[in-house]
A and B are shown apart, each in its own frame.
Chain A
């Protein structure tokens, strides 16, 4: 009986800890703004639900070619196309629902939140060439930025390179990682799979710890799993990293009809960034060999411990966030 009560209490504590952030989020204020097109390229904005901080305090930023002076929004011939953001989202205003009502066609809704403060508005109707060019420019750049700023993804790729070194095996390993993260990125972006972001980030950190351990094994003369089947390990962990990429894409509030295109361009951007990183690492490895600038024997394990320590630090920090301690 006591055991059962204790178990129930523990379960409630865990649930309260896990759901605490969501419970708090409901207390925050929501705003709803409607942008109605009154003539081509000209909109009238109206707050149908004013946020607690007051409509006049909302710092709404519209695309560069548009001019906003509430209630008027003038976008000219290009129309209301591009990123819209609110810079002062916070505890007093956690989300704003944006409704765009065009003169013709169905109205569209976007949600701007603290987690996804930018929404991309694309032209109504069938996508034109201009729409695709805009989409490609935005998402290729976004993919490059995402991988270059994702130190955890880069560290994992560095670990793979360290184990496999060069040649066809490396090409196959990096390809497997690419296929893995592309598959899960697509599945997550289309809503086929969904994993909460915090535990996922902890898993990503753990994948780098795994690679660090594998490097240590290899340096000690034992062939680890990655050394024997690098493509399998890269592909499997690629699936995990891909869901992480998808969370960045989902945060932009993109329309579903343009999701496949955005996904493709985002993935192209990620690959461009990843390829640039791999080439830089390979060039530096070649340069070190050429200069015979290698670590002394006692320092053989330094890179592995450096990679493993950084990843473990991330893992513990992310695990604490999963458990809701902070």
Chain B
């Protein structure tokens, strides 16, 4: 019995992470395509995990290195969204998302102090990927401009808030009493890497 419960507990988050994005048409019919675009990534656990990981990494590196993402993520999402509309969104393999999760998780867990250019490059690649994937949520009757604007604004608000929260939580480097906080962020990184490995395993198995 306990074994079954353990299996269930293990499988449930995996299925949630591997699930496709939820249908945003309910939102669209109520509040229109702008809010459908804004909420579409927030109904997909892969977007939430990846954006959170990027925000944590940016926050842990400090304001000077992380603040560029406030612009890069929404612009990258918008660019990726347009690429997805033009060339389709199915060619982004699930393994790519899993690989990105592992990369961000390992960087966080290892506490590597990458420079701003490297962080922005990772952020841009991630934004392009997720922009392409989110273009899959556009229906035939969807207003693409409103959906894209909602998506970009959602990315901007999410990354700005998570980065600032992570930065505040981490505190200054010189305060020894706050060392546990940096350890907590690194622990989050190891969980994110583990989720990435599970998603990758699931993608290979299916």
Name which of A76-84, A125-133, A262-270, A282-290 contacts chain B. Answer: A282-290
Does B160 reach chain A (CB closer than 8 Å)?
yes
Given A290-B63, A291-B66, A291-B167: A145 and B31 within 8 A (CB)? yes
Complexed CA–CA distance, A287 and B169 (Å): 13
Tell me if A290 and B168 are in contact (CB < 8 A).
Answer: yes
Tell me if A291 and B157 are in contact (CB < 8 A).
Answer: no
Complexed CA–CA distance, A148 and B39 (Å): 13
* Pick from B32, B35, B163: contact of A291, CB under 8 Å: B163
Residues of chain A with a CB closer than 8 A to B64's CB:
292
Does B161 reach chain A (CB closer than 8 Å)?
yes
Does A171 reach chain B (CB closer than 8 Å)?
no
Tell me if B160 and A284 are in contact (CB < 8 A).
Answer: yes
Does B30 reach chain A (CB closer than 8 Å)?
yes
Residues of chain A with a CB closer than 8 A to B165's CB:
287
**How many residue pairs at the A-B interface have CB separations less than 8 Å?**
39
Cβ of B37 to closest chain A Cβ, rounded Å? 14
| Interfacial residues of chain B within 153-182, with CB under 8 A of chain A in the complex | 157, 160-161, 163-165, 167-168
Tell me if B31 and A293 are in contact (CB < 8 A).
Answer: no
Tell me if B164 and A291 are in contact (CB < 8 A).
Answer: yes
* Per-residue contact bits, chain B 5-42, to A (CB 8 Å; 1 contact, 0 not): 00000000000000000000000001110010000000
* Per-residue contact bits, chain B 62-79, to A (CB 8 Å; 1 contact, 0 not): 011011001000000000
Chain A: interface residue total (CB-CB under 8 A): 13
Does A149 reach chain B (CB closer than 8 Å)?
yes
Complexed CA–CA distance, A149 and B163 (Å): 28
Cβ of B15 to closest chain A Cβ, rounded Å? 31
Tell me if A287 and B30 are in contact (CB < 8 A).
Answer: no
Tell me if B35 and A148 are in contact (CB < 8 A).
Answer: yes
Which 5 pairs, one residue from A and one from B, show the smallest C-beta to C-beta distance? Answer: A287-B164, A290-B164, A293-B67, A291-B67, A287-B160
Beyond A287-B161, A288-B164, 17 additional pairs, beta carbon < 8 A: A145-B31, A149-B32, A283-B161, A284-B157, A284-B160, A284-B161, A286-B164, A287-B164, A290-B164, A290-B167, A291-B66, A291-B67, A291-B163, A291-B164, A292-B64, A292-B67, A293-B160
- What are 14 A-B pairs with beta-carbon distances under 8 A? A145-B31, A148-B31, A280-B157, A287-B161, A287-B165, A288-B160, A290-B63, A290-B164, A290-B167, A291-B167, A292-B63, A293-B63, A293-B70, A293-B160
